[in-house]
Amino acid sequence: MSSPHLPLSRRGFLLAGAGAGAAPALTTRPAHATARPFGRYGSPERRRTPRTLYVDPHGRGDFTTVQAAVTAATGSGWTLVLAPGVYRETVAVDTTRTEATWIGAAEDPRAVVIVYDNAAGTPRPGGGTYGTTGSATTTVQADGFTARWITFANDWLRADHPDISGTQAVALKVQGDRSAFHHCRFLGHQDTLYADSTALGVFARQYFARCYVEGDVDFVFGRATAVYEGCHFRTLNRTDLAAAPYGFVFAPSTAAANPNGYLVSRSRISSEAPDAAYKLARPWVPSSDTTARPSLVVRDAYLGAGIDAVAPYTNMSDAFPWQRQRFAEYRNSGPGAVITVPENRPQLTAAEAASHTPAAYLGDWTPWQER
């Protein structure tokens, strides 16, 4: 499970970045703070392997930006070691750059932050807007991607842009098969973590272990086969709304042919919003796939008081009611998991739960064994 100390929220991060002394400091060490910006992972002078590149915004690595290192790392099997710092940029990893590994050298996700501030409605240079996919700070399409101890953030804020209606602002869009994230943070508000695939017929498997995700509207969404194990999801408060619901944690869009969608196991959901202000999930049936049957299983998890226990699910569109989708729970606890209206809380039997495990969802891929 996550540390008992709450991670610094995205809003706290923004406050700290603005220089407010009362905010807890983001662990981004200045250039003079350490003689070993890459920790135990070597350096350009003592390269761990020929396919290891070092990134440091203060100029002590091979590159000062993550995208420059990605561009140089053509082909398969590259490792990027990221020194502490805030990397304000957008990053894209295309399908050809397979089996890549990114490591936050400080082994603390608060120390390495990749952040930008595009939203779906942000005007693009040359005309039009970015759209949801284009808003992503980081996009990973390649198979076999692994990240450790990194924060992926989108710090676009509604309050700063009242003229923009497209408020989706993705921190990470990941589409590749066998994509693993260990001890990472995903900070945003609407559409924070886009766990998806490269095409409708591709069942991309993804694994998130001991990660922290925060947001408000549909902030974990997409059609991937995604396992969230030992993760912490936190719902943000909203001062722009007068009444609940403030938002929705999960919005899967699983293809009907895919037997597995999102699995949330041994995790917890907390909130800075009022009690019962959030729904646990709503199904996303996108216009590009009206045959989708969104799938979500939440098991052995702690659901805090921020989740509406009476009616935790709702519709995104009345044409696709949540009751016809694949939503279920098993052995959850906490005030948000109390069953008061049984028909609103579909439960797995013990026999059914046996087929909803990380191993069952991910098959011959065992990322929890990686070190």
Active site residue 318: no
CA atoms within 13 A on the CB side of 194: 24
The residue annotated as part of the active site, out of 56, 177, 191, 308, is 191
DSSP 210-249: S-EEEESEEEEEESSEEEEES-EEEEPP-SS-SSS--EEE
Distance (Å, whole) CA 308 – CA 248: 10
Tokens of 123: 């005007």
Please name the residues in contact with 355: beta carbons below 8 A apart, sequence gap of 6 or more: none
Number of Cβ within a 10 Å radius of residue 136: 27
Instruction: Select from 174, 176, 123 the least CA-distant residue to 152.
Output: 174
Active site residue 218: yes
Instruction: Select from 61, 59, 58, 125 the least CA-distant residue to 90.
Output: 125
The residue annotated as part of the active site, out of 117, 196, 218, 308, is 218
Contact 192, 217 (CB under 8 A): no
Residue type (1 letter), 254:
T
Determine the 3-state secondary structure of 185 from DSSP: strand
Residue type (1 letter), 174:
V
Distance (Å, whole) CA 29 – CA 110: 11
Distance (Å, whole) CA 106 – CA 149: 8
**What residues are labeled active site?**
191, 218
